[in-house]
Amino acid sequence: MTGMTPDMNHIPEDLNLPDIRKEIDAIDSQLLDLFIQRMQAAEKVAMVKKRDGLPITNLKREQEILDAFEERGGDFGSGARTMLATLIDISCAYQQMLLYGEDGKLRKRLMTAGSILKGSKIACQGTTGAYSHLAARQFFGEDAEPLFFPKFQDVFDAVTEGYTDFGVLPIENTTAGAVDDVYDLLTRHGFYIVGETDVAINHCLLAPKGATMQDIKEVYAHPQALSQCARYIQRHGFETNEYSNNAVAAKHVSRWNDPTKAAIASSVAGRQFDLDILEEDIQDIDGNQTRFIIISKHLVIREGADKISLTFSLPHQTGSLYRVLSRFAANGMNISKIESRPLKGQNFSYRFYLDFNGNVHDEKVCSLICALSTEMSHFKFLGNY
């Protein structure tokens, strides 16, 4: 069975689109009938596997079937393999739902999650006037007064030890991309994301009273801020120095009172530490924003939550990521973000972080998450917020 490439320069006169479409519709009708039969057969497979205690997936058998299918497909072999792989994934997901849909541990956790954020103690990295401080006030209200810690790790530790109920951390910037350290810590600690807020980033060049642009030789800021203002820094020939936090950099520049040293931070930090604003909005790209997440030890899914975050790893095999993503497409779910991070100590193996739109109280969404949790290694549901 081959699909010889047709001669597109000699097209028969009797070919017409309406007749071809009728032919395709008839074939699609047959495919639908066969698909239903296949899914009914999958129901029987699920019964046998439950009775005999067999696993849902058999990767060795799958690969043998796909290889044979591709060979039989001839010129259409690659497409035939993709089609069958998608059918297998849909079948496995259906079997997962039949076997674990009602009593899976993850499903119970999702269905019994709280809906109200309880507690008022908040941890942020940095100091007063930091963008994380602005994010905390934006999310929790103007009266929010968080506790500040030097490092991202310290924020996680504060939540772990119960010193605070929540942590506020940057996760992604529209210019500089993901904050990798936070992704790694989020996975390591097993916390949940219970909320998010976007903060407009308007970086300012802050200097001691009386300093001028001509005086400035060095700038201090977090690496993300330095990256976001890279062209501005290069244009002025400033020497860069990395700091743990922009507001902390502003605090030290104020203490040093050296007209050759400046900080890149918010105008709020400038007022907080009595520094002059030499220039505003110095970031390279207009509309620069940072997404901050709210973390907690406890799973909370508030009413109206419409974004879900997951993390998982996959075998280093051709098409493994595609097969996962196709499951979301097959269920009509929109993936809004995907990040990859190398797994330490495992060459060319990656952990993926994925955001998609949905709510766990939608049965299709919940079933897909529960199915993936039993199929994948290192799977973690990070939150619905």
Under DSSP, is residue 335 helix (H, G, I), strand (E, B) or coil?
A: strand
Closest C-alpha to 115, from 301, 296, 298, 366 = 301
If you search the block for the tokens 């058998």, which residue do you land on? 61
Catalytic member of 82, 164, 175, 290: 290
Report yes or no: 262 and 278 within 8 Å, Cβ to Cβ. Answer: yes
Half-sphere exposure of 90 (CA within 13 A, CB side): 16
- Phi, psi (deg, nearest 5) at residue 208: -60, 155
Catalytic member of 139, 156, 238, 292: 292
User: What residue type is assigned to position 250 of the chain?
Assistant: A
| Residue ranges in the chain assigned as alpha helix (H) | 17-52, 59-72, 77-100, 105-111, 131-140, 152-160, 180-189, 223-228, 230-236, 246-256, 267-272, 320-330, 363-375
- Phi, psi (deg, nearest 5) at residue 301: -120, 100
Under DSSP, is residue 10 helix (H, G, I), strand (E, B) or coil?
A: coil
Report yes or no: 188 and 157 within 8 Å, Cβ to Cβ. Answer: no
Interatomic CA distance for residues 313 and 308, integer angstroms: 17
Interatomic CA distance for residues 233 and 187, integer angstroms: 34
Report yes or no: 279 and 238 within 8 Å, Cβ to Cβ. Answer: no
Residue 152 appears among annotated catalytic residues: no
Q: At what angle do helices 320-330 and 363-375 cross, to 10 degrees?
A: 160
Residue 290 appears among annotated catalytic residues: yes
Any idea how long the chain is?
385
- Enzyme catalytic residues: 290, 292
